[in-house]
Amino acid sequence: MPDRRKTKKPKYTLDRSIPGAYEGETVTRRRFMVGAANGAGMVATAAIALPALGFALAPVFKTTPVTWQPIGPPSDFPIDNYVAKTIVLTPGIGEAGNSIAYVRTRNPALDTEPEDQYNRWVALSSRCMHLGCPVRWVDAAQRFICPCHGGVYNIRGLVAGGPPVRPLDRFYTRLNTSTGLVELGPRYSVNSELRRFSPRDPGEPLDGIGQYLYPARWSTPPLSNG
């Protein structure tokens, strides 16, 4: 009777017509060299790409610490006009890291949003929310004017005309009781109802679906860390 026991077939079959193949080989030298070359190429690519990718993504995951800087005593800031104060946005790079904040004392008759410990002084950013050009306060017109593209904001920083997509950004403020000085803290953005949001870039609206289309950066620090 014939032997019906099944015999195992080799997992790999070798084309014996390939020059240099030996009996019993499962991988030819050519296949081995191709695999080794591809592996070396992948290692070389990773050695170049991974550090570059890490360098590019590191700022995204780096959290900026909350800082407060003194800007003067409460008597410096009137209730019906803005005072320009030079502030440091990026320390360690000289004047390039400085900017202007326009500050006044909160006016209950004008500022109808809820009052808390961080808005007893209104501090507006000088950065236009269209493309980021610097705005200036024109006392005679009671308006902030952007000379670049005609953006106009009223005394509260709300858009009064032109292309800006949202009101001027603001800064948290507080009174340091140990020094008696008003201090300016992190920047935040607002929508047309002056609702607070983590800071966004110019050109990013925060009304309606805009607040979801333009999420905050991971590096934005929560105020509770301050």
The total number of structural domains in the chain stands at 2
**What does the block give as tokens for 151?**
């953006």
Q: Is residue 51 part of a domain?
A: yes
Find the farthest-apart pair of alpha carbons in the chain and give their distance in angstroms, rounded: 114
Q: Is residue 3 part of a domain?
A: no
Q: What is the pTM of this model?
A: 0.70
Segments in 72-149 forming alpha helices (H): none
Average pLDDT rounded to a whole number, residues 14-38 = 63
What is the band of 20 on the pLDDT scale with cuts at 50, 70, 90? low
Question: Is the domain of 73 the same as that of 18?
Answer: no
Does residue 19 carry a pLDDT above 80? no
Question: Is the domain of 115 the same as that of 206?
Answer: yes
Owning domain of residue 205: 69-225
b or e along 106-135 (b: 16 or more beta carbons within 10 Å of the residue's beta carbon)? eeeeebeeeeeebbbbbbbbbbbbbeeeeb
Question: Is the domain of 134 the same as that of 57?
Answer: no
Question: Is the domain of 134 the same as that of 76?
Answer: yes
pLDDT tens per residue across span 174-196: 999 999 999 999 999 999 999 99
Average pLDDT rounded to a whole number, residues 115-139 = 95
| Angstrom distance (rounded) from CA 5 to CA 16 | 27
